[in-house]
Amino acid sequence: METLTLLAGGFAVALTPLNIGLLLLGCFAGTLIGAMPGLGPVNGVAILIPLTFAFGFDATSSLILLSSVYFGCMYGGRISSILLNIPGDEPAVMTTLDGYPMAQQGKAADALAISGVASFVGATVSVIGLSLFAPLLARMAIYFGPADYFALYILAFVTIGGIAGVDPRKTLLSAMIGLMIASVGIDPISGIPRFTFGNYHLYDGVDPIVALVGLFAISEILVLLEKKAADRTAPIGITSWLPDFRTIWMTRWAVLRGSLVGFVSGVLPGAGASLGSVMSYSVEKQASDKDGTFGKGDPRGVAAPEAGNNAASGGALIPMLSLGVPGSGTTAVMLAMLISLNVQPGPLLFERQPDLVWGLVASLYLGNVALLILNLPMIGLFSRLMMVPTWALMPIVAAVSFVGVFSISNSVFDLEMMIFFGVLGYLLRKLDVSLVPLVLGLLLGGDMERNLRRAMSISDGDWSVLIASPISIALYVLTAVFLCLSVWLTMRDHKRTQSRVTEG
Amino acid sequence: MSVRIAGVAVFMIAALYMYFGKQYSADFGDVLGPSVFPMVVGIPAMLLSATLVVFPSGEVSWPDRGHMARQLLALAILLGYAFLLRPLGFPLASFGLIAGIGTVLGGAPLKAVILGAIMSPALWALFDQVLGLPLAFFGYWFTQ
């Protein structure tokens, strides 16, 4: 009951005229960004964070704006996966499987409407789950001591790369590079400047926002430059924008199954939205692909991954809000937003700023409603905007990134830093190293060190304090299990590709 | 090979990081001091990068010379923008940036110049006039 009251309070916050305006603006701008080539949710939000800052809204309003941009981007990404067969972001990959064939058969409006409705239902399921479980986890997290937080951060770094992704060593190294960068600047406890080499610009440390914009937006320009300037195929035209409601109703079970599967995989560490949509798609395929229609334009093949991906991104908010530890790329960007707005997520957030937490939850919900209503009549406009050529779009993105970063501190040094991170991001992407752990290391490094040092001052320098509580032992065991599992999976995949090479 | 070189680079950086990190010390009030955390991060970073040198994974295909030259040119334009933003002011510097990057990305030069000529004052008007982020119209080269 208490949760319902809080949620109602959240809706009251989200429904103020300013916040509704920001929500609609964010959804619209986000869809635009997401539908454009070369811009996904992560770089869209990264570019907008410093600008939001400069406008001086309070934390709740900024968060509402940025998260509606985020959801708008995801929706825009779907438009390009369905009409162009180009996924706007990672979770949208599964949507192309059945969405593009549907568009080819002239059912683009149906596919877009299904993805909208499925996302809405997925988000609803995850908001209900979030309202139920996040306060529980936050209550539990009060028992976490500094040593337990240290263990939790280690778990976060190990799991962020996902379970069967690239080489786990690269993911861990990426996190460590982030931690190294995080320790640059004046040490907050002893006041000694570290790794600044006499450069007073570095005394404040590296601003995560500057790093984020460089890593994602500037590196994207460098990645685009090495591709051949291929012409994009024209998107499939839409004959009518009014969808067939019977087709949507047909997908109801797929949507529900997808939402549940997605939510569970979102809450698990290291999974996030991509795994949510993959899992939902494969579960749905096993459950209802009796005639072999999946992959050839089955509406249920659009509904399940879309519901799953939205449910997962809501589910991934649970560890992020209640523990302050994001489990996915999405939530890592959201954490960057929160930290740059001077909000420290964690168990105390629910007690100290219930307005913010529940306002965010309510705005996630309203964002999905707004997207559903906003997008059906406007798809024509968005699909025309997708034709903006890359050469015209990316220079403007660069100019906006510069303005955003420059507006933080008016310093040219920050601009140079952003370009440096752009080059670093490009090199790491070429080497198949995920950038999200680096951002996470940069964001959490300060806290991780503070917790370690706090634990050690409590124990007066006795290292065994790190494994003294049952919580930290459990977390280390979990970390070890996860590490073994991902090393084993990588080795297995490696052997498989090797044998395939020798066979071929 | 690229992964090996990257491994060596990270190894060297982690080693330097630890070398400098060891020198920081505080005498009072803090049990662990400012130099232990760099060790906690540096040692595993060195070990992991060493394994990447010995057992590299994945292959990297770098762009050919032509594309690399375009990337370097783009970097030069970005850096030039960072240095010239204050002296030239926002609209002029952004004109150069948009026209330059647009051309490097494969747009027709004339079209890129027109895009820059329209978008740079438009962006200035949007940010400075509408959204209230102060951006100088003329830089200090013109005003002094």
Q: How many Å separate Cα A377 from the centre of its chain?
A: 27
Higher pLDDT pick, A263 / A377: A263
Q: Tell me: the pLDDT tens digits for A376-411?
A: 777 777 777 777 788 888 898 899 889 888 888 888
Task: Name the average pLDDT for chain A.
Answer: 82
Give the model's pLDDT for residue B91: 92
Chain A residues within 8 A of B94 when measuring between CB atoms: 399, 402
Q: CB of B114 within 8 Å of any CB in chain A?
A: no
pLDDT of A145 reads 87
- The confidence score (pLDDT) of residue A265 equals 82
The Cα of A67 is separated from the nearest Cα of chain B by a number of Å equal to 20
Cα distance between residue A109 and residue A79, in whole Å: 10
Number of domains in chain A: 1
pLDDT number for residue A503: 38
Q: Which of A156-165, A227-236, A379-388, B54-63 is most confident? A: B54-63
Residue B94 touches chain A, beta carbons under 8 Å: yes
In chain B, which stretches have pLDDT less than 50?
A: none
Measured torsion, CA atoms of residues B46, B49, B51, B56, in degrees rounded to the nearest 10: -170
Cβ separation B14–A194 shorter than 8 A = no
Please compute the mean of the pLDDT values over residues A279-295 and round it to a whole number.
81
| Record: contact B37-A423, CB cut-off 8 A | no
User: Is the pLDDT at A230 greater than 90, yes or no?
Assistant: no
Nearest CB among A166, A226, A399 relative to B97 is that of A399
Residues of chain A above pLDDT 70, percent:
90
Q: Which helix or strand (DSSP H or E) is residue A186 part of?
A: strand A185-186
Asked if the model's pLDDT at residue A504 lies above 50, the reply is: no
CB contact under 8 A, B131 and A55: yes
Establish if B144 touches chain A: CB-CB under 8 angstroms: no
What is the DSSP annotation of A420-464? HHHHHHHHHHHTT--SHHHHHHHHHHHHHHHHHHHHHHHHTS-GG
Instruction: Give the pLDDT mean for A341-345.
Output: 79
Query: Is residue A322 within 8 Å of A127, Cβ to Cβ?
Result: no
Give the domain range for residue A157. 2-503
Q: Give the side-chain half-sphere CA count within 13 A for A70.
A: 26
Mean pLDDT (chain B, rounded): 89
Q: Name every chain A residue with its beta carbon within 8 A of the beta carbon of B111.
A: 392
Q: Which residues of B touch A226 (CB under 8 A)?
A: 63, 67-68, 71
* Residue-level pLDDT at A500: 47
Q: How far is A113 from chain B (nearest CA, A)?
A: 34
- What is the pLDDT at residue B9? 94
Q: Does B68 touch chain A (CB under 8 A)?
A: yes
Report the candidate in A355, A325, A360, A319 with the shortest Cα–Cα distance to residue A339: A325
Query: How close is the nearest chain B Cα to the Cα of A179, in Å?
Result: 7
What is the token pair recorded at B53?
Answer: 């040198």
**Comparing C-alpha atoms, which of A84, A67, A99 is closest to residue A371?**
A67
* Mean per-residue pLDDT, A420-439: 91
DSSP H or E run through A185: strand A185-186
Mark yes or no for CB contact B98/A189 under 8 Å.
no
Closest CB from A192, A222, A419 relative to B71? A222
What b/e sequence results for A338-350 when a residue is b if at least 16 CB atoms lie within 10 Å of its CB, and e otherwise?
Answer: bbbbebebbbebb
Is residue A94 over pLDDT 60? Answer: yes
Give the pLDDT mean for A29-49: 79
Q: What is the pLDDT of residues A97-127, one digit of tens each?
A: 888 888 888 888 888 888 888 888 888 888 8
Across the interface, of B60, B62, B70, the residue whose CB is closest to A225 is B70
The domain spans of chain B are 2-54, 65-143
Beta-carbon separation of B86 and A170 below 8 A: no
